[in-house]
Amino acid sequence: MRTLVHFGTADSEWAVPIERVQEVRLPFGITPLPVPKAGIAGVLRHGDEILTVLSVLGGAAGYVLVLDGGGERFGLIVESAIGILRVEASAITAPPAGQENPVVCGVIRAEEQRMVLLLDTDELAKELQ
């Protein structure tokens, strides 16, 4: 059984392993950078840290997930925080053929014919470089 944090963007449902999520918070306090790299929304204070906040999945900034990946801690803008998703490992399949985005590391077959994309935070952290 895997426990995941389930969230949504403008056009997709996603999940990330719960052990990679430090916090789910409102997007208040994001400071835009003067000349940001594509996919960077800005920076956010998190305790004593200043975190880079990614906007690579698109959509409105309803929440910021504070994630660990690739040895980094960073924020990710998401549209909605849906909740906790518990799935059997057998319900997770490989990404579909033709998928070029390496942040998608699997697909979860959810109820009602929905599909949830599994997010690879280590790959996502490469956006910080």
Quick one: pLDDT at residue 76?
97
**In the predicted structure, residue 111 carries a pLDDT above the cut 80:** no
DSSP string for residues in 34-78: SSPPTTEEEEEEETTEEEEEE-TT-S--SEEEEEEETTEEEEEEE
Of 60, 61, 48, 53, the closest CA to residue 124 belongs to 53
Quick one: pLDDT at residue 97?
85
Quick one: pLDDT at residue 51?
96
Quick one: pLDDT at residue 75?
97
CB neighbours of residue 31 within 10 Å: 11
The CATH number of domain 2-128, selected from 1.10.274.10, 2.40.10.220, 2.40.110.10, 2.40.50.180: 2.40.50.180
Encode pLDDT of 48-98 as tens digits.
999 999 999 987 889 999 999 999 999 999 999 999 999 998 989 998 888
Give CA angle at 17 (88, 108), nearest 5°: 45
Quote the tokens at residue 77. Answer: 């803008």
Name, in order, each residue with C-beta under 8 angstroms of 103's C-beta and a sequence gap of 6 or more: 56, 119, 120, 123, 124
User: What is the band of 114 on the pLDDT scale with cuts at 50, 70, 90?
Assistant: confident
Residue-averaged pLDDT of the chain: 92
- b/e map 80-98, b = 16+ CB within 10 Å: ebeeebebeeebbeebeee
Quick one: pLDDT at residue 28?
93
Quick one: pLDDT at residue 3?
96
- Mean pLDDT along residues 4-32: 95
Quote the tokens at residue 19. Answer: 């052990």
